[in-house]
Each structure stands twice: as C-alpha cells, then as structure tokens.
Amino acid sequence: MKFDKIRAVEWRDDHLQLIDQRILPSRHENLCFDNVYEVAKAITDMVVRGAPAIGIAAAYGVVLAARNRFRQDGSDWQKTILKDLETLKAARPTAVNLAWAVDRLATIAAGMDPSTDPEPALLDAAKQIHADDIAANHTMGRLGAGLIAPGSAVLTHCNTGALATGGYGTALGVIRAGYASGAIKEVYADETRPWLQGARLTAWELVQEKIPVTLIADGAAAFLMKQGKVQWVIVGSDRIAANGDVANKIGTYSAAVAARHHGVKFMVVAPTSTIDMATATGTDIPIETREQEELLVCGDKRVAPEGAGAWNPVFDITPAELVDAIVTERGVVEHPTVEKMAGMMAK
C-alpha cells in the first residue's frame, strides 16, 4: 500500500525483531530478542518507543516469557511468569498500551491448561494485537484526513508513524493519508528535544516515503503558526484520560496553547487502547521523568556546564479544552468531554 513500507516491530524466525531507533537515521539496524528481560530493557532504553509499538513489543515479550518459563518450569509456568509480566509493565509507566497488551495476554495465559505449551495461543493473540493496530491506523488515517481542507499544511511533534506503532502510524498515518489524498500539501516537524524523535525519526520516515518535510526547532512552532503557515497541529498520545486530557511527548502542551492562540486546529490521533477510562483526568496520569543527562548532554558531548542540574519530564498533559478532535479507529470526538469520550468507547 502507498506510504506504508516501514515496520519497527516484527515477529520473525521465532524471535522478536526491532529496528534500533536510537541510531536512526545514521544507521538502520535490526535487533533480535528471545528473552523477556531483554525486551523490557529495549523498551526502557528506547530501542522501541511510541505507545502502540511498545504495547506490541510487550505482547511479543509475553510470548517469549511463556516459551522460556514453560521450557524451564513445566506446569508451574503460570506462576513463575508473573514476575516477568511485572517487569515488562514497569519498563515505561506512562504509556497505557504497554500494560493493556500485557494484561490482555496475561488473561489468556491464566485461563490455559498449565500442561499445554502456551506459545502458539499467545503468539496468535500478539499477532492479532499487531494486525489490529495496523488496521486501526489506516482507519484513523482516513478519518483524520477527512477533517483537513485540501491543500493544507500541518505541524507534527515527536514521532507517531510506523516507527511508533505496528505500522503506518497514528498522527503520521493521518499525514500519510492526507498527503496521498491531496488534503495535505506540506508537513512541518518539530525536532522534539531531547531525543530528537522529530528530527531523527519523523523526518526519516517521511523522506523514506518521499513525502516533503521541513524540520523546525521546537521553539519555532508558535512563530510558524503566527505566519499562517499551518492549519493543523496533528499529534499522537501515550495516554488519554476519560475527560479527553492528553498525555503526550513533552512540548505537546506548548504546541496546543500556541495553536489555540493562533486559531490553528489541534488534532490528537490514537487507538482506543490508548484511552484510559479508569483515569479521570490528566492530573491522575503518572508522568515519567528520565535521567538529567539526556538534557545535559547532546550526543557524546556535554552542552551544559558541570554543576548544572536538569528537569527532564518525558510527557506533558494537554487539557481537553485545547483539543479540537480526538481521532480513533471507532470514530472522531470533537471538543472532547467525559460524556463524548464515554459514548465513543461504548461503540
């Protein structure tokens, strides 16, 4: 399918294969995993990132855990695997897809005959999660692109494409679909400090698929909007609360505030597995804070003076009142509220 060539997560030759996103775009390398603790470390260390891709990788991690526990512990595997599952769930706490995927496979595992090899059934379930994500992304791409007037320019933040999902992408899926249909003529991408996912990953994906992209510094977004150069900001999400508050990559909130001030529409694109109806508002979402060194160092070079500290939250919360549309595979919620979110999730 057009603009759908990249797969960051794959099950291949009885192993989990991940594109190492830490070294893109300078090198394109795949890493193979057959151990659940290696998968958990890969998630923590950002080999794989993006809420849907993390969830899919974790699902395959459960398969590896079950395989190894069954071989080592026989019919006791359902008990001994529990530690493995908790390790997976702790790898990245903000992204709800991770816990969702692990819990879904854990439920299947708990109901199995302990004397039966669990790998085939769990692998089928993990592959289904993966396939469902790709299908959902194509649906969201179509729905989101349908909101955009022909010939528009858009801004996106972080990476929400095939590298962050099972394939095609969430916000970048809308951009792929919009570019293919002619709704989108131009794409701007924030560089997204400190991991530079916009510069390294989003720009790389779009270049691979020959979609024109212009990179900007994060701090240039508001001025870009003031020039009237973009009509939509399109982002993904790592968790959406029941009221429509959105947790996403740090800098998203700033972009939403600037968009509202300048009359630019703000779209969030995420599968329903990202929506956490058990979390009432964004203030209840745990925000991961990573090492100071990620800000104090750029590449191999320290850019801040010795003695300086850093505050490095990975995500921020964009309140629902700044969101014009939440696009999911079940439909579009415009100007989200608790009632609208509940209605969409009930479909």
Helix or strand holding residue 246 (H, E): strand 246-249
Cβ atoms 250, 58 nearer than 8 A: no
Q: What residues form DSSP beta bridges with 332?
A: 327
Q: What is the dihedral of CA 86, 194, 248, 182, to 10 degrees?
A: -130
Please report the sign of the dihedral spanned by the C-alpha atoms of residue 161, residue 164, residue 167, residue 173: negative
> Strand, helix or coil at 162?
helix
Distance, CA of 37 to CA of 57 (rounded, Å): 12
Alpha-carbon Rg of the chain, whole angstroms? 20
Q: Which residues are catalytic?
A: 238
Helices and strands (H and E) in the chain: how many: 12, 16
- Residue ranges of E strands in 85-200: 152-156, 184-190
Distances (CA, A) of 22 to 200, 255, 291: 9, 25, 16
Q: What residues form DSSP beta bridges with 240?
A: 246, 275
Which residues touch 300 (CB under 8 Å, ≥6 apart)? Answer: none
Cβ atoms 238, 51 nearer than 8 A: yes
Q: Which two tokens stand for residue 219?
A: 């701090």
Angle formed at CA 207 by CA 328 and CA 318, multiple of 5 degrees = 35
